[in-house]
Chain A
Amino acid sequence: MEAIKIITGRLAPLPMNDIDTDQIIPARYLKVTDKNGLGAACFSDWRYEADGTPKPDFALNKPEYQGAAVLVGGHNFGCGSSREHAPWALLGAGFKAVISTYFADIFRNNALKNGLLPVVVDAETHRQLISLAEEDPSAEVTVDLEAQTVVLPDGRHVQFPIDAFSRYCLLNGVDQLGFLLGLDEHISAFEETHPAWVRTTAN
């Protein structure tokens, strides 16, 4: 997993609420064994006509939002089915962070564990970011994970919350397993001095 410290980039607006994981990545694309390559199918049913041609009025198809690093989604972003492919697809589509007023819990956790930064801001900041993205697509924001701030073009710093463990993992580019493996020596030393756990399964 790539370490995240500072993300600077343009915004792409997708202001509708309750964007569910079936839109982020439809289920028929889940038959993969590699998390790479899902970017092309991200928001597939909203992005493409039945014959595969891009819908010109969908925000992510507009030329001015190509290469945007930060997606600004509506409230309750990532609701619906538990699906790790959702952050994989968003990462594959080039996003490094998603900003919303609220993230569905499972999506938020999946994002954090896969190096996609979910940034929760207040409703007023969210409105400003949507306006900014729509009125000046070239405007850049900076998301500073270390400082836990979003820096707007006018210089305003907006704080965002993140739990200390997730922040540590993202800053260091390790996932939970990587974190544990880093403690292998300590775990082995502990296990050597303690009896095995009692069996907790049947039979």
Chain B
Amino acid sequence: MGAGMVAPDETTFEYVAGRPYAPKGEAWEAAVLAWRQLPTDDGAAFDNEVVLNADELTPMITYGTNPGMGIPINGFVPDPDKMGDVSQRTALDKALRYMDLQPGQKLLGKRVDVVFLGSCTNSRISDLREAARFIEGRRVADGVRMLVVPGSQQVKAQAEAEGLHEIFKAAGAEWREAGCSMCIAMNGDQLQPGQYAVSTSNRNFEGRQGKGGRTFLASPLTAAATAVNGVISDPREMIEMQMP
């Protein structure tokens, strides 16, 4: 893993313009002019070049106890015995015991107790719009608790202005104050020992969402689909994809 720096483009400027703390008026023009001076130099050499093709990406989900332990949603839980490296095998074995999962098991259809649509990483306004559009006219399955927690106060205000909160509430989800909630489980929003959650946050370490709780990290759409079915579900099977 690592960090990358990318020259700002029109999409970036459009996003920043008019936001709190962004320069305004002449200062804005000056700032954009300065930012336009930041393209990559012609002939720049890179240590490494990575090409990512999102067209070939399926929705992903984690099965283990760190964010790297992920598979395509229709994939199978890997087998520790097939790991060449001893420390990887030990780590996977420990993770599967914690998660109470079997090697080769499919995650699709796995019953969950809680769906957490929240966190600063995956509860942007775009995430909430997508999930709301999916869940509109549907119901959260019996026996599943769904928490929808906007990623910030601004996101919450925007979502409420668009009426998204009413869609979530009508579906039987809890519409909550913006905050960390079950991403870090420092307040009362915690899994009980042994419970399973699909969560749109980005941490699935042991006990992260409550002592003994078991986390599957997934996208907002996968979370919404899972909430409706009560079991881990592939949202592509439930909608004609009409992404913005």
Q: Which residues of A contact B (CB under 8 A)?
A: 16-18, 20, 22-23, 26-28, 30-31, 45, 50, 74-75, 79-81, 201-203
**Chain A, interface SS category:** loop
Q: Closest chain A residue to B22 by CB distance?
A: A202
Question: What are the residues of chain A within 8 A of B211 when measuring CB–CB?
Answer: 26, 28, 45, 50
Q: Chain A residues near B83 (CB, 8 Å)?
A: none
Among listed B87-95, B100-108, B167-175, interface-contacting one: B87-95
Q: Least Cβ distance of B6 to chain A in Å?
A: 21
Can you name 18 extra interface pairs (CB under 8 A) apart from A17-B87, A18-B66, A202-B20? Answer: A17-B90, A22-B203, A22-B205, A22-B206, A22-B207, A22-B208, A26-B207, A27-B184, A27-B185, A28-B186, A28-B190, A45-B211, A50-B212, A79-B66, A81-B205, A201-B21, A202-B21, A203-B24
- Give the Cβ gap from A136 to chain B, nearest Cβ, in Å: 23
Q: In the bound complex, how far is the Cα of B184 from the Cα of A50, in angstroms?
A: 19
Assess the B186–A31 pair: CB atoms within 8 A. yes
List 10 A–B pairs whose Cβ atoms lie within 8 Å, in order of A's numbering.
A16-B94, A17-B87, A17-B91, A18-B66, A20-B205, A28-B185, A30-B186, A202-B22, A202-B23, A203-B24
Q: Which residues of B contact A (CB under 8 A)?
A: 20-24, 27, 66, 87, 90-91, 94, 184-186, 190, 193, 203, 205-208, 211-212
Query: Is A75 touching B203 in the complex (CB atoms < 8 A)?
Result: no
Task: Tell me, rounded to whole Å, the shortest Cβ–Cβ distance linking A82 to chain B.
Answer: 11
Please state if B23 and A16 are interface contacts (CB–CB under 8 Å): no
Point out the residues of chain B lying under 8 angstroms from A30, CB to CB: 186
User: Are B66's CB and A16's CB within 8 A?
Assistant: no
Q: Closest A-chain residue to B28, C-beta based?
A: A202
Asked if A80 and B207 sit within 8 Å, CB to CB, the answer is no
Given contacts A17-B87, A45-B211, A201-B21, contact A80 B203 (CB under 8 A): yes
Whether B208 contacts A27 by the Cβ 8 Å rule is yes
Give the distance to chain B from A167, nearest Cβ to Cβ, in Å: 25
- Per the bound structure, the CA–CA distance linking A50 and B94 in Å amounts to 19
- Please measure, in the bound complex, the distance between the C-alpha atom of A75 and the C-alpha atom of B91, giving whole angstroms: 11
Cβ-closest 7 pairs across A and B: A22-B205, A20-B205, A27-B184, A45-B207, A17-B87, A27-B186, A22-B208
A22–B206 Cα distance when bound, in Å, is: 7
Which residues in A have their C-beta under 8 angstroms from that of B90?
Answer: 16-17
Instruction: Please name all residues of chain B whose beta carbon is closer than 8 Å to the beta carbon of A81 when the two chains form the complex.
Output: 184, 203, 205
A79 and chain B: residue at smallest CB distance: B66
Contact A20 B66 (CB under 8 A): yes
Task: Determine the chain B residues whose CB is within 8 A of the CB of A202 once the complex forms.
Answer: 20-24, 27
A25 to chain B, nearest CB (A): 11
A45 contacts across to B, CB distance below 8 A: 206-207, 211
